[in-house]
Amino acid sequence: MTEPEWPDEVFAVLREADIQQVGYVPDAGHARLIARALAEPSMRAVVLTTEEEGIALATGAWLGGARAVLLMQSSGVGNCVNMLSLPANCRTPLLLLVTMRGEWGEFNPWQVPMARATEQVLRAAGVLVHRADHAGEVAEMVRAAAALAFASCEAVAVLFSQRLIGAKVFVAAGEKS
């Protein structure tokens, strides 16, 4: 099975948008994008202990003259609720790329409640939300989201559906995948 091309297309869009900092919590759905950011000399990839730190990172980057993106999983959106007031009150841009869990083919029932709430939570916090379900729309959607975020100093999120990223498969210890 070949790997999807959309993560590489998203990386190209991030370079095109002059993203210099990439905040992330390790996530299999963003693994290729994270690896590309770590290998890119013009980007600083910063591993976070919690997603809300990424909002502060993105705000600080903007205040320092740089652009940032925050990569996270849908379960991390709940960790950011209070911190989402920072870009709203300070009128700083925030670009979020969110891999969804708890949807199509999910094995972990703990992921389902936040999956149901992710889009509504982001919208309630004033974030403009777009959802990518098909590989062919991802790069264009991220390009448009980055342009909107940085031109208008708005918080904009692109949700990558679980069908797009592929459902995780549980493998018990000692089993082969």
Residue 106 lies in a domain: yes
What is the per-residue pLDDT across 108-167, written as a single tens digit (0 to 9) for each?
Answer: 778 777 888 899 999 999 999 999 999 999 999 999 999 999 999 999 999 998 888 877
Q: Which residues, in sequence order, are CB contacts of 148 under 8 Å at separation 6+? A: 128, 154, 156
How many domains does the chain fold into? 1
> Would you say residue 1 lies in a domain?
no
Q: Using 50, 70 and 90 to split pLDDT, how confident is the model at 21?
A: very high
Whether pLDDT at 170 is above 90:
no
Model pLDDT, residue 115 = 82
Q: Considering the domain boundaries, does residue 96 fall inside one?
A: yes
Token couple for 21:
């900092």
Q: Per residue in 34-46, pLDDT tens?
A: 999 999 999 999 9
64, pLDDT greater than 90: yes
Cα 64 from Cα 47, distance rounded (Å): 19
> Sorting pLDDT into bands at 50, 70 and 90, what band is 3?
low
> Is residue 177 assigned to a domain?
no
Q: Assess if residue 20 is contained within a domain.
A: yes
Q: Which two tokens stand for residue 174?
A: 């000692």
In a domain, 175, yes or no: no
Q: Please check whether residue 23 lies inside any domain of the structure.
A: yes
pLDDT of res. 149: 98
Instruction: Give Rg (Cα) of the chain.
Output: 15
Question: Is position 171 within any domain?
Answer: no
Here the CATH number for the domain that contains residue 29 is: 3.40.50.970
Q: Which domain holds residue 27?
A: 6-165
